[in-house]
Structure formats: structure tokens, C-alpha cells
Amino acid sequence: MTENTSLKAQNGPYFGEYGGRFVPESLIAALDELEATYEIAKTDPTFIKELDELNKNYVGRPSIITEVPKFAALAGDIRVFLKREDLNHTGSHKINNVIGQALLTKRMGKTRIIAETGAGQHGVASATAAALFGLECVVYMGEVDTERQALNVARMKLLGAEVIPVTTGSRTLKDAINEALRDWVTNVDNTHYLLGTVAGPHPFPTMVRDFHSVIGTEAREQMLVDYGFLPDVVAACVGGGSNAIGLFHAFLDDDAVKLWGFEAAGEGMNTLKHAATLSKGKVGVLHGAKSYLLQDEDGQTVESHSISAGLDYPGVGPEHSWLKDLNRAQYFGISDDEAMQALKALSQTEGIIPAIETAHALAGVIKHGSELPSGSSILLNLSGRGDKDMETVGKYFGFLGNKK
């Protein structure tokens, strides 16, 4: 590819017509400061060295790749490779971005971070970084999610963070972001909003992607060095889209590599109870960026539904909307039940318990892997581990009695 057509080189604020800064004027100075700080930091050898060392000695990077032949057999005659982000410190990919932004927070001289969280993984990662760097930390979490992810609430509190249940709106991730934005507007002088996904106003979609791009950069290299080829498909689950873009980014200019994103279809793509933003949404503005979103004809955000708190979001990062329109990536819906069956399948065939979010990508591989020619290979981002989900899983499969 020539430099002009490189998809990898796209750095915002716009991805095609998507992205931008649709936020109150009150936040513009903070976004400008963040962008300027990040632009300097990302080429500053001191910053790069510090980030690399933390990734190596605190997060545990590089994460390994595990081939899972027994699981792959469920999808046909293909090979499946897992990029093991579940083995990172705190148990998911979320820590990659959090460490980067926490370093930027220190650079900006701010002393307090706020974060939104759905599944609690980003909240836990943020609380972890706050403890490590000595920052005050407040995490906004929808009241519904504090109930279904109670263990992560306990983890955040143990780490010294304050967890504020959000009781307005649908009481899930979308409303947690609203509340975090309100806090940020009010306390922007000393506070950094440590946004946990590739959504939000510029520079977040680009910056968060960059901090997660280590996933794909490592994985691409590992595939070439350890196996001698690039995968035919790279796959990931998509809520806001951070783990997916983290894996996809290194492969954007490898035209032969297909990109598959799997959204939460909840109770089904033909019901109203899903979170399949790219498949079923329309273009609009939410949380500071233009992108696909689930909305009614008046532009009111529609509540999303998913068994997975981390995918239960009616928006998606603008770069995914752009990749969809370009047909560079394909996005599919995976129902609650398909995800839960895949979660069980990976656990029982390979002894790896994935997060419910991640299980959507695993189900997608089972569902669509058989469409690939014999001998094809899929690299999947195993974005998080399932420990946090044991209550939901236990209830779903009747391991905790007969409740479903």
C-alpha cells in the first residue's frame, strides 16, 4: 500500500465522516491539553521507556499466543490462535490503555482520575493504576452493573477507589459515561477522565487505540516468528471496540487478512434487546463523537441489552464505523446464548475460562469459521478472563442451584 492509502496512518480527529469533538465548550481546553500532552509524550523516549517497562514488569507483556486445536475443531477444519490478554495483570486488555493514560495524567500534573465502567474491568484497571501512581480515583458504574459485577466493585474498593453507582437513565455503561462527563466538566482543573474505550471525543479514539495497538503489533510479530504466517482472519468482540481495534490496527494494511468483529445480539438480532450497534444502528452523535449508535427516530439513545455488561453499550468507536463503511472489517451479531455456549466450550475443551464479552468472539469463530476454506487460521483476541462472571455463569448453567 502507498502511504496515502494506509488505513493504519489514520489518526483522527476524523475517520471518514466519523469522530470529531461533539462536547460542551467547557471540555475543549482539557481535550486540547490532553492531545498536546499525548502528541509530545508519544515520541518522547522517556515516556516510551517508562511505558515499555511498565508493560513488561507490571502488566506482564508480551502476552502469549495459545493455539487451541480442540476448540478449533468445533469450527471446522481451521486453526485458532488466542492472543492471551486475559493473562495481563488485572485480567483483561483494559490495563494497556490505563497505564498509558495514568502516565499522561501525571505528566499533566493532575491528581485525580475518573473512569466509567461496565463489566468493571476498566474500573478495576483504573483503580489499579491509581493505586500504583498515587492518584485519587472515582469510578462511575451503572447501578445495574454494580449488581451483576459485584465482585469487581469489591476489587475496586479494595484498591482504594470510590465506586459511585449511577441511578439515572438506563443505569448502565452509557449513563456511567454521562456521569463521568458531568464530573469532568465540573472538576477538569485537577481531574483526568480516563476513558476506557475507543469512543468519546478526539483524541480518545486515537489515543486509546494507540495504547492498545500493542496487542496487534505483538500478535502479528508472534504469528510471523512462531508460526511463519499471518492469520487469514483476526477476530474480536466489539462493545465500544477497544480490544478489537487494538488487535485490528496492526493488520489494517494487510489486505489479505480479514477483520471480524462480533457484537452482542442479546436476545437476538430481530428483537429490540441487543447491543449490535454497527449492524443495527444509525449514524449519530453520542458521548462526543459521530459514529453508529442505537437510537430512535428522534435521536434519543435506545437502551442496549446484553448478558455481558462490557458489551452493553449503544455506541461504538468511530474508527469501527469507518472500517465498516469501507468494508475493511465485517461485524456480526452473537446472541447471549451463543456466547454462553462458547464460553463453556472453551472452558471444557482447552481449560481456559474467558470473560462473557470475549465469549462473543469465540462464538463468532464457531459460527463463521466453517465458512472459511479448509486449513484457514483465525487469530482471536482473548480479551479477558471469566472469573468476574462466575455468578452469571453459575446461574446460567444451573451450577448454583437450578436458577437460570
Residues acting as catalytic residues: 94, 116, 383
CB of 144 to another protein, least distance (A): 16
29 binds another protein (CB under 8 A): yes
- Grid cell for residue 354: 474467558
Q: What is the DSSP string of 196-247?
A: -SS-SSTTHHHHHHHHHTHHHHHHHHHIIIIISS--SEEEEE-SSSHHHHHH
Q: Which of residues 32-71 bind another protein (CB under 8 A)?
A: 32
Query: What nine digits make up the cell of 115?
Result: 473512569
- Per-residue contact flags (x/-) with another protein for residues 159 to 178, judged by CB under 8 A: ---------xx----xx--x
188 binds another protein (CB under 8 A): yes
Q: Could you tell me the smallest distance in angstroms from the CB atom of residue 299 to another protein?
A: 3
Judged by CB, which is closer to another protein: 155, or 171?
171
Query: Would you call 169 exposed, middle or buried from its count of C-beta atoms within 10 A (0-12, 13-18, 19+)?
Result: middle
111 binds another protein (CB under 8 A): no
Q: Distance between CA atoms of 393 and 167, rounded to whole angstroms?
A: 25
Q: Are strands 112-117 and 136-142 parallel, antiparallel or unpaired?
A: parallel
Q: What dihedral angle (degrees, nearest 10) is formed by the CA atoms of 324, 206, 80, 221?
A: 130
Residue 185 binding another protein, by CB under 8 A: yes
By CB under 8 A, residue 286 contacts another protein: yes
109 part of the interface to another protein, by CB under 8 A: no
Give the residue from 64, 72, 129, 134 showing the smallest Cα distance to 100.
Answer: 129
Could you say whether residue 17 binds another protein (CB under 8 A)? no
Selected binder of another protein within 6, 226, 282, 371 (CB under 8 A) = 282
316 binds another protein (CB under 8 A): no
**CA Rg value for the chain:** 19
Give least dist CB 36 to another protein, A. 12
Polymer length of the chain? 404
Which residues contribute to the site for another protein (CB under 8 A)? 20-26, 28-30, 32, 168-169, 174-175, 178, 181-182, 185-189, 282, 284-288, 295, 297-301
